[in-house]
Structure 1
Amino acid sequence: MPVPAPIDLRTFYATPDRKVAVLNYSARFLSSTFELINSAEFAAFVALFLTEQQDHLPTVADAETTFACTDAATYIDTLKDVLTDQPRAFDHFSRKEILDSIEALYSYYRSYLRVATMTTQQNHVVASEFITIDQRFNDVVLRLYRTIEEKLQGHANHVYRQTAAATSACMLLQRVQWPIPAGYEALRDVRFINRLMLRPPMMLHTKSNKRKGRFTASQENPLKNFTGGYTDWLCYPAKIGTSLAYIYFHRDYLASGLALANLFQLADRQEVLNHKPDLILLFGSPSAAGDADPENGHYFYDAANDLYVGQVPYNDQTTYFGYMKKMCLTLHNLHQIVRQRLPIHGAMVKITFASGQAKTVVFFGDSGAGKSESIEALQTVADDQIVNIETIFDDMGSFTLDSQEGLYAQGTETGAFVRLDDLSSEVAFTNMDRGIYMNPEQANARVIIPANTWGRVVAHHHVDMWVYANNYDDAVGVHRFTDQETAKATFVAGKRRALGTTDEVGMSTTFFANPFGPVQEPAATQPIIDAVFAQFFKDQTYVGEIYTHLGNDKSQDKLNESAKALLAVLMTD
């Protein structure tokens, strides 16, 4: 059946195709149940609900006798009669039938990702009270629902659940002036997210749950195809590592846009005002003519303005959050390579032992190699030997060679985008009240959780150990490379067995295990790789591999044995 057309009012937007709803408090704020039930916004959503309900009725007879199949005006008039205790409310429909339909309407509305927006220009009263304002509207919606429900039931509820009735999130938006280069004027009116309030745990659902293909270079600036504007686009100004990124996204991608808050630090207004970014991403904008794989993302280096510009097209496949995250990281990594820094696809942790000793370890490898699983296994086998494991970065970082400091590592993300299957129950439940969950009932279900502060992530961290996550060999334990060229060949080959997190199957190789920057610019990356390996071996840093077994039997016992071997090295080396 065709998907009904979106509601597109100045005050309210809802698209049944993407299950996204946006309420504009600045255009109109409904402060009472009376205003809500008499509003054009409520009438439009009831009409949308009824259309969806009627499309799923099996027979014409049902349409003639079911309350859910009346017209919107009659439906709302009946609800008003219920609210005012008018007997005529039940002339044609039973209490149970009306109650069942109200429950369905309420559930249907809550199946949407509902986001409220407020636009302000440095109004400190609004800035400090926008959460309170949003809570007032949630109370209005909950009061209307409960009043109708209890009148139809004939008694008060015995249990009250304080759910996020009206909205899942609220955003304070501002127009911010920054030095817009020639050719970028179309971005001028797009509002920046200044403050963001989330109601976790958030359960979000997208049409896609897996990333396909790779991002490729475009021959022209994606800004040439950009047609967005004030009403349908938003900007999340992000601090990705030490890069400043302006992430522009279509409102239908609000699931990905909101999830950014758990992954990248939201830049403050003063960090954006009059500042040109290092990176710009247009998420939901068409590909350029002639671009390879127009259904996937692309990037362009604007040399005249020293800007990396990314573009991801509007389609069902790109609703998976991996596209948002990985394009952001690709742009950041390309920027790092230009700055002679080496992007690392991996996780870095600082391990503090009961003895007081601390070691930093970088686990390296492509998706599914076993980086996160190795850290989890280390925690499992350590008992009381480890006091704390601090995550410096979870997926992407960089190595920098400095004439004064030597070699140090930095991270990019303040959060983690993790497969639910990879989390121990302790970690999963500890972080439940802060998590943003993506398609939790499906394969490759993910959660985005905060992990560390931005200042800590971008601090300069010494590296004590760098290990390749080997998920394909049948050995157990860890292995230290004694030869620099052998080690470098292993890391550069990026060999792994695919685990279904992307569209790849079987054995694969990826240049330097990083399809997000190094693959796109191998010639520029190789000299940095050579210099980094030379420094590691000069410093006699432990460079090796840990056998994770995930590509073979996924045996937790074997992974735990490898983790024990790693623990022994860390405590004695």
Structure 2
Amino acid sequence: GLYRDVVENITGDHPRVYRQVSAGAQVGLVAVRHDWPVPAPYRSPLASIPFVRHVVIDPPFILDPPMNKRSGEFTEVPENPIADLELDASQWICYPAVVGPTVIFIYVNQRFIGLGGALANLFELASDEQVAAGPQAVFLYGVPAESLAACGLLPTVFHDDQEHDLLVAAIPAEDRFGYFGYLKKMVLTLHNVAVMKHGRLPFHGAFTRITLESGAAANVLVLGDTATGKSETLEALRELASEEVSDLRIVADDMGSLAVDPDGVLRGYGTEIGAFVRLDDLSKAYAFQQLDRAIFMSPHKVNARVVVPVTSLEEILRGHRVDVLLYANNYEWVDEEHPVIERLDSVEQALEVFGEGRAMAKGTTTSTGLTSTYFANPFGAVQRRERHEAIAAAVFAAAFRHGVVVGQLRTRLGIERFASRGPQEAAVALLHLISTRTAQTAR
């Protein structure tokens, strides 16, 4: 190549060992203008911004954004945060994302373009037809800080524009918000608010179909806050029981929704085709297994993460029956009175346990100690609590009517020295539950 010719001509040295290095960028985006039904108040800031239509990634792609933790909640505000906003279209791109049953236009400032490129590993890119039909929500990531000055010290905000049937969100272009968690969780907050309008219950959890070699199978939904052991337990199940598990299919890795179908059966849906996984709590081999398709973030810091594809759009939209519904309890010890899996006896008891949303903070946010968040879901459920409570009561009533196993799973991930052992023992208990449940159903 030209570079080698120049070096050899200047140095007069002809090396015998050549090492191939990546040339150019590791992520390429093809973005073009695309017509969509832009409501009048949004034409000035949004109509000229190009849409991403193709993405090329040369993995492993490693980012070190300015932040590696997220703070606070996303606040619903009465005023539109992007009203009268003027943007330079050359500094922005739009990633139109399919997020469960919703389409969300994610506008990313060039300042955060690396994080914007990582969206391709997390959310399916919307089709031309979906772009032309328009979104249920728009999110501007990286607006001028002064435009949100009136929104307080933590201006991570969204607004329900009922006149135009559009959810609108914005986060300012400041280094303290330069973390993928802000980008991902605001998108999921918008999804959660949107699905509640249609009677679905948004959940913060991992939903997986587990099939054993014996033929036993169950669709298992584990709800819980960040770093409570949801994904860690499923990964431990994959590793510990590889000879017994024939298939482990992910429907939702972090967020999704529940709906009661016309027959009264509880069904779960996902949102993401990828996972934003905390490396600290996974096996050391995991990162190397994902090298050919992974996007790593701050691998040398606490709360190191990897964004990796884990499922398909078809899988997350299908609507799978829920067989097991558990709350991930990462803070309680296990003893005779507190088993790894404890079944709950009534709708009221379940609503109390799930509603309290207790968890031991693990450093993924700025929270510390034992925390409590309504339904472990500060992403829409807290902001629309009254609506959420009504849907939750109906969902849990349907679960108990149709024999769903409802309980809590003690992962002990938040207890010192149990980061590995806790999820491993939880995985063994879950394996036993699936086997015995299937046997009892057969009888």
* TM-score w.r.t. length of structure 1: 0.73
Q: CA 1:329 to 1:318, structure 2 compared with 1: closer, same or farther past 3 Å? A: same
Looking at structure 1, the residues matched to 422 and 168 of structure 2 have their Cα atoms a distance apart, in angstroms, of 44
Query: Which residue is equivalent to 2:152?
Result: 292
Letter in 2 for 1:563: A
Looking at structure 1, the residues matched to 89 and 158 of structure 2 have their Cα atoms a distance apart, in angstroms, of 24
Confirm or deny: 8 A CA contact 2:156 2:172 kept in the other structure.
yes
Deviation, 1:256, is 1.3
Looking at structure 2, the residues matched to 309 and 554 of structure 1 have their Cα atoms a distance apart, in angstroms, of 43
Looking at structure 2, the residues matched to 407 and 483 of structure 1 have their Cα atoms a distance apart, in angstroms, of 16
Deviation, 1:155, is 2.3
Deviation, 1:532, is 0.5
Deviation, 1:160, is 2.9
Deviation, 1:563, is 2.1
Deviation, 1:391, is 1.2
Query: Which residue is equivalent to 1:516?
Result: 379
Asked if residue 572 in structure 1 is aligned to residue 436 in structure 2, the reply is yes
Deviation, 1:182, is 1.4
Deviation, 1:321, is 0.5
Query: Which residue is equivalent to 1:181?
Result: 39
Aligned residues: 429
Q: CA 1:190 to 1:484, structure 2 compared with 1: closer, same or farther past 3 Å? A: same
Query: Which residue is equivalent to 1:22?
Result: none
- What are the Cα deviations for residues 114-141 of structure 1, in whole angstroms up to 9, with x where unaligned? xxxxxxxxxxxxxxxxxxxxxxxxxxxx
Q: Secondary structure of the residue that 2:139 maps to in structure 1?
A: strand
Deviation, 1:146, is 2.3
Looking at structure 1, the residues matched to 399 and 135 of structure 2 have their Cα atoms a distance apart, in angstroms, of 33
- Decide which moves more: 408-417 or 143-152: 143-152
Q: Secondary structure of the residue that 1:260 maps to in structure 2?
A: helix
Confirm or deny: 8 A CA contact 1:214 1:296 kept in the other structure.
no
Deviation, 1:217, is 1.3
Looking at structure 2, the residues matched to 151 and 423 of structure 1 have their Cα atoms a distance apart, in angstroms, of 48
Aligned pairs for 1:503-542 within 5 A: 503-542=366-405
Q: Secondary structure of the residue that 1:223 maps to in structure 2?
A: coil
Aligned pairs for 1:11-160 within 5 A: 143-160=1-18
Q: Secondary structure of the residue that 1:519 maps to in structure 2?
A: coil
Query: Which residue is equivalent to 1:47?
Result: none
2:227 corresponds, among 352, 363, 368, to: 368
- What are the Cα deviations for residues 527-564 of structure 1, in whole angstroms up to 9, with x where unaligned? 00000110111112101111111111242334322321
Q: Secondary structure of the residue that 2:207 maps to in structure 1?
A: strand
Deviation, 1:426, is 4.2
Looking at structure 1, the residues matched to 173 and 9 of structure 2 have their Cα atoms a distance apart, in angstroms, of 45
- What are the Cα deviations for residues 124-182 of structure 1, in whole angstroms up to 9, with x where unaligned? xxxxxxxxxxxxxxxxxxx3432333334422333333332211122211110111111
- What are the Cα deviations for residues 492-527 of structure 1, in whole angstroms up to 9, with x where unaligned? 000011000000000110011001110111111000
Deviation, 1:405, is 6.2
Looking at structure 2, the residues matched to 548 and 554 of structure 1 have their Cα atoms a distance apart, in angstroms, of 12
Aligned pairs for 1:192-207 within 5 A: 192-207=51-66
Asked if residue 320 in structure 1 is aligned to residue 161 in structure 2, the reply is no
Deviation, 1:292, is 3.1
Asked if residue 162 in structure 1 is aligned to residue 20 in structure 2, the reply is yes
Query: Which residue is equivalent to 1:109?
Result: none
Letter in 2 for 1:487: A
Deviation, 1:404, is 4.0
Confirm or deny: 8 A CA contact 1:296 1:318 kept in the other structure.
no
Confirm or deny: 8 A CA contact 1:218 1:288 kept in the other structure.
no
Deviation, 1:289, is 4.9
Looking at structure 2, the residues matched to 378 and 253 of structure 1 have their Cα atoms a distance apart, in angstroms, of 36
Confirm or deny: 8 A CA contact 1:216 1:292 kept in the other structure.
no
Q: Secondary structure of the residue that 1:330 maps to in structure 2?
A: helix
Q: CA 1:277 to 1:355, structure 2 compared with 1: closer, same or farther past 3 Å? A: same
- What are the Cα deviations for residues 175-210 of structure 1, in whole angstroms up to 9, with x where unaligned? 101111110012111001111111111011111111
Q: Secondary structure of the residue that 2:321 maps to in structure 1?
A: coil
Asked if residue 547 in structure 1 is aligned to residue 413 in structure 2, the reply is no
Confirm or deny: 8 A CA contact 2:229 2:423 kept in the other structure.
no
Query: Which residue is equivalent to 1:410?
Result: 269
Looking at structure 2, the residues matched to 367 and 438 of structure 1 have their Cα atoms a distance apart, in angstroms, of 17
Asked if residue 334 in structure 1 is aligned to residue 198 in structure 2, the reply is no
Confirm or deny: 8 A CA contact 2:256 2:270 kept in the other structure.
yes
Letter in 1 for 2:106: I
1:563 corresponds, among 422, 427, 442, to: 427
Looking at structure 2, the residues matched to 436 and 467 of structure 1 have their Cα atoms a distance apart, in angstroms, of 30
In terms of fraction of residues, the more helix-rich structure is 1
Deviation, 1:251, is 0.9
Deviation, 1:226, is 2.6
Looking at structure 2, the residues matched to 426 and 546 of structure 1 have their Cα atoms a distance apart, in angstroms, of 25
Asked if residue 191 in structure 1 is aligned to residue 50 in structure 2, the reply is yes
Query: Which residue is equivalent to 1:488?
Result: 351
* TM-score w.r.t. length of structure 2: 0.93
Confirm or deny: 8 A CA contact 1:354 1:386 kept in the other structure.
yes
Looking at structure 2, the residues matched to 260 and 247 of structure 1 have their Cα atoms a distance apart, in angstroms, of 9
Confirm or deny: 8 A CA contact 2:265 2:402 kept in the other structure.
no
Q: CA 1:146 to 1:225, structure 2 compared with 1: closer, same or farther past 3 Å? A: farther
Confirm or deny: 8 A CA contact 2:264 2:398 kept in the other structure.
no
Q: Secondary structure of the residue that 2:185 maps to in structure 1?
A: helix
- What are the Cα deviations for residues 443-502 of structure 1, in whole angstroms up to 9, with x where unaligned? 111100001111111111011101111011101521111122111100000001100000
Name stretches of at least 5 consecutive residues in structure 2 with no aligned partner.
Answer: 438-443
Q: CA 1:486 to 1:435, structure 2 compared with 1: closer, same or farther past 3 Å? A: same
Q: Secondary structure of the residue that 1:324 maps to in structure 2?
A: helix
Q: Secondary structure of the residue that 2:111 maps to in structure 1?
A: helix
Query: Which residue is equivalent to 2:131?
Result: 272
The RMSD of aligned alpha carbons is 1.5
Looking at structure 2, the residues matched to 289 and 177 of structure 1 have their Cα atoms a distance apart, in angstroms, of 32
Letter in 2 for 1:193: V
Looking at structure 2, the residues matched to 157 and 296 of structure 1 have their Cα atoms a distance apart, in angstroms, of 55
Q: CA 1:158 to 1:567, structure 2 compared with 1: closer, same or farther past 3 Å? A: same
Asked if residue 501 in structure 1 is aligned to residue 364 in structure 2, the reply is yes
- Decide which moves more: 282-291 or 467-476: 282-291
Letter in 2 for 1:375: L
Looking at structure 1, the residues matched to 140 and 242 of structure 2 have their Cα atoms a distance apart, in angstroms, of 46
Looking at structure 2, the residues matched to 156 and 350 of structure 1 have their Cα atoms a distance apart, in angstroms, of 57
- Decide which moves more: 263-272 or 509-518: 263-272
Aligned pairs for 1:341-420 within 5 A: 341-404=200-263, 406-420=265-279
Looking at structure 1, the residues matched to 304 and 38 of structure 2 have their Cα atoms a distance apart, in angstroms, of 39
Looking at structure 1, the residues matched to 168 and 16 of structure 2 have their Cα atoms a distance apart, in angstroms, of 55
- What are the Cα deviations for residues 266-319 of structure 1, in whole angstroms up to 9, with x where unaligned? 01222212x1210100111144453233x4310000001110001011100111
Name stretches of at least 5 consecutive residues in structure 1 with no aligned partner.
Answer: 1-142
2:71 corresponds, among 192, 201, 212, to: 212
Identity %: 39
Looking at structure 2, the residues matched to 178 and 558 of structure 1 have their Cα atoms a distance apart, in angstroms, of 49
Confirm or deny: 8 A CA contact 2:155 2:171 kept in the other structure.
yes
